[in-house]
Amino acid sequence: MFTSCSQPVTNEVWLPSLNEAIEHGLKIEEVSLLLTQEYQNTHYVLVKDKADSFALAKVIKNSKGYLWERITLYLGTPSYVMFEHTTEAGEKLPIIIGKTADETAKKVKLVSSLTSEVLDVHNGYYIGFNLPLNGHAYTVSAIK
């Protein structure tokens, strides 16, 4: 497990809409969009670079508008990474991001000794929120 970057990757360009913030983030990082997922009123964006490494960003909304902020390093392995992200409200949010070896999978099942979760897969990638992290290792199985 790792903690997300203490210095988020942002260029402080506030934009008037969610879509413009996402498009701006994709352009400045020279990445393609894998999937977006909203959780607790925050839009999380999984992206892929030209080397097929993936990273997680989020779009922050406040009175200034919308701001793109990448919150993880780029990862290049077909597996998963668990980390804790501190939200704008100061809460610790456990997040799992991953890539399956089977891009045709529609879901993945994550199983640990204490829990079992099923997550949706989009083009071989997935995001999970608020899953137990500490002391948990998951076995990931693709579901067609």
Predicted confidence (pLDDT) per residue in 109-133, tens digit: 999 888 889 999 998 899 999 988 7
Distance CA 112, CA 21 (A): 36
Comparing 2-11, 26-35, 68-77, 135-144, which segment has the lowest mean pLDDT? 2-11
Q: What's the pLDDT band for 10 if we cut at 50, 70, 90? A: low
Range of the domain at 27: 2-143
- The tally of domains found in the chain comes to 1
Res. 1 pLDDT band, cuts 50 70 90:
very low
